Amino acid sequence: MKKDKKPFGRLVAKFGGSSLADGTAISRAANSVIKKAEQGVQIAVVVSAMGKTTDHLIDTAKTACGEEIPNDELDDIIAMGERTNARIFSASLRAHGWESRYMDPVDPDWPIITDDVHLNAKPILPVCERLIKRHVQPLLEKGVIVVVPGFIGKTEHGKITTLGRGGSDITAMILAQALAADQVVLVTDVEGIMTADPKVIKKPLKIKEISMDALVGLADSGTKFIHKKALRYKNPEMDVKVISNSAGSLDAEGTIIRGSFPKSIFVDPYSGSAMAITIVGKAVSESMQTLAEILREINKAKAPLLGMSINHNSLVLYLPVKAGETLLELIHSIVVRHRSTLAMGVRKNLAFIRVKGIGLEETPGVISSITKALNSANINIYGTFTITSSVVVFVDLKNRKKAIQLIEEAVAINNNSELKSQLGGKT
């Protein structure tokens, strides 16, 4: 092993299951890590289970034991995929002449500690950070390549847990933040983040760079370049690079993810007054020409479209009141000109309140707690929809201040609950 070179950086490389599908793939991945280590870079490696191992283990366990298998036992079983692959990957590094150490949840220096929610555990971040700095960082500084099985945690009482889908990405992000890594490299079966899903669109293009805001929108659409849940753990100062396993090099060009998204849920109200334009008809959703003409007039007026909802018989457009009466007249002229639309109604003086946060629409109880808080104060909700990890609520403008206060209180309770979970139930 070459130790005479002074390290000039530190990175975390995460290899997905498709990148470790067989012995040849693992050897190629190990070689790509060694090439980077030979440049003097300190490297921690996070590995997923080989190929479809996790799915196979789940199916096998449930077939053999029935659907009633306890979650803690299932966690112990499905964690074997990553645990085994970490051993193989570390052995491959040593076989290629490099000193390596794999970590296992049974080890006393295991660094990823979680709550006790099996199959979807949450890391206790302060504890993880302390243990990573104590046990992983010194090994890296000695030139050892550390291999950590992703997706796996351990409770403070020693029970093995798993982090749910996207868990290996979470492991990589937590390691990188604690180690103050320069970059996280996610090695996948695609050459980067694409302009569309290659399984849906024949020839999508690779995106060289993308912001977190834009990436969250793609994640909300179901695109799985990186699991949305893992984005909560990204350090805003650290870049994440997505590359293809076929490149055989961690220096390969891919897509750089920059920035961060707020970890907590927060309220972002629109300062002006909004209005809701409701258009009804026999088959509004089927008349694309009508919708195109309306959107064209909104674009000409340079009015920001705050939101839109459509079903078979109605279309609702949310616009700033300052968009003006002229625009309303133009939209009305389109409505009466087309057979698919019958009439329009306008409700002015609405407050537009956006609540944002990664995975907000998947966070249990958030939306219901917001609506319950408003209902308890007899505040009518004139519209609500979710999009790109945000919930938008429209209420009467006169209730704006009270509504914001109530929503912020509801959000604060949720954030406190999330913080408590990350701290292992301690506040």
C-alpha dihedral, 258 to 259 to 264 to 266, nearest 10°: -120
Least confident segment among 83-97, 141-155, 166-180, 386-400: 386-400
- pLDDT higher than threshold 80 for residue 129: yes
Q: Which residue has the tokens 């991945």?
A: 29
Q: Which helix (H) or strand (E) holds 13?
A: strand 9-15
Per-residue pLDDT tens digits for 318-362: 999 999 999 999 999 999 999 889 999 999 999 999 887 766 655
Name the residue with higher pLDDT: 387 or 371: 371
How sure is the predictor about 159, in pLDDT bands with cuts at 50, 70 and 90? very high
Closest CA to 275 of 313, 312, 328: 328
197, 225, 273, 276 from 189: Cα distances, Å = 12, 10, 47, 45
- pLDDT higher than threshold 80 for residue 189: yes
Both tokens assigned to 174: 């937590």
How many whole angstroms separate alpha carbon 150 and alpha carbon 136? Answer: 14
Strand partners of residue 186: 14, 242
The DSSP secondary-structure symbol of 131 reads: H
Domain residue limits, the chain: 9-258, 266-422
pLDDT at residue 190, rounded to an integer: 84
Average pLDDT over residues 275-279: 95
Q: Which residue has the tokens 């070459």?
A: 2
SS3 7: coil
How many whole angstroms separate alpha carbon 101 and alpha carbon 99? Answer: 7
Helices and strands per DSSP (H, E), number in the chain: 12, 18
Per-residue pLDDT tens digits for 53-111: 999 999 999 999 877 899 999 999 999 999 999 999 999 999 999 999 999 999 999 99
Name the residue with higher pLDDT: 233 or 268: 233
The DSSP secondary-structure symbol of 200 reads: T
Amino acid identity for residue 158 in this structure: G
Both tokens assigned to 48: 């997923």
pLDDT at residue 8, rounded to an integer: 57
How many whole angstroms separate alpha carbon 408 and alpha carbon 420? Answer: 18
Q: Note the maximum CA span of the chain.
A: 79
Is residue 101 within 8 Å of 42, Cβ to Cβ?
no
pLDDT at residue 182, rounded to an integer: 94
Least confident segment among 231-235, 349-353, 388-392: 388-392
- pLDDT higher than threshold 50 for residue 215: yes
How sure is the predictor about 408, in pLDDT bands with cuts at 50, 70 and 90? confident
Closest CA to 275 of 234, 305, 242: 305
CA angle 178, 167, 127 (to 5 degrees): 35
- CATH 3.30.950.10 matches 9-258: no
309 Cα distance to chain centroid: 25
Task: Report the mean per-residue pLDDT for the chain.
Answer: 88
- pLDDT higher than threshold 90 for residue 119: yes
SS3 384: strand
pLDDT at residue 427, rounded to an integer: 41
- pLDDT higher than threshold 70 for residue 224: no
pLDDT at residue 388, rounded to an integer: 63
What is this structure's pTM?
0.79
- pLDDT higher than threshold 60 for residue 223: no
5, 381, 410 from 16: Cα distances, Å = 29, 44, 37
The DSSP secondary-structure symbol of 361 reads: G
> pLDDT exceeding 90 applies to what percent of the chain?
63
Half-sphere exposure of 90 (CA within 13 A, CB side): 20
Average pLDDT over residues 172-181: 96
Average pLDDT over residues 369-380: 90
Alpha helices in 241-324 (DSSP H): 288-300
How sure is the predictor about 265, in pLDDT bands with cuts at 50, 70 and 90? confident
Q: Which residue has the tokens 């590094």?
A: 93
- pLDDT higher than threshold 50 for residue 158: yes
pLDDT at residue 333, rounded to an integer: 96
pLDDT at residue 358, rounded to an integer: 65
How many whole angstroms separate alpha carbon 263 and alpha carbon 360? Answer: 10
- pLDDT higher than threshold 50 for residue 7: no
- pLDDT higher than threshold 90 for residue 256: yes
State the fold for domain 266-422: VC0802-like (3.30.2130)
Name the residue with higher pLDDT: 116 or 66: 116
Both tokens assigned to 26: 């693992």
Q: Is 222 exposed, middle or buried (0-12, 13-18, 19+ CB in 10 A)?
A: exposed
Average pLDDT over residues 42-61: 94
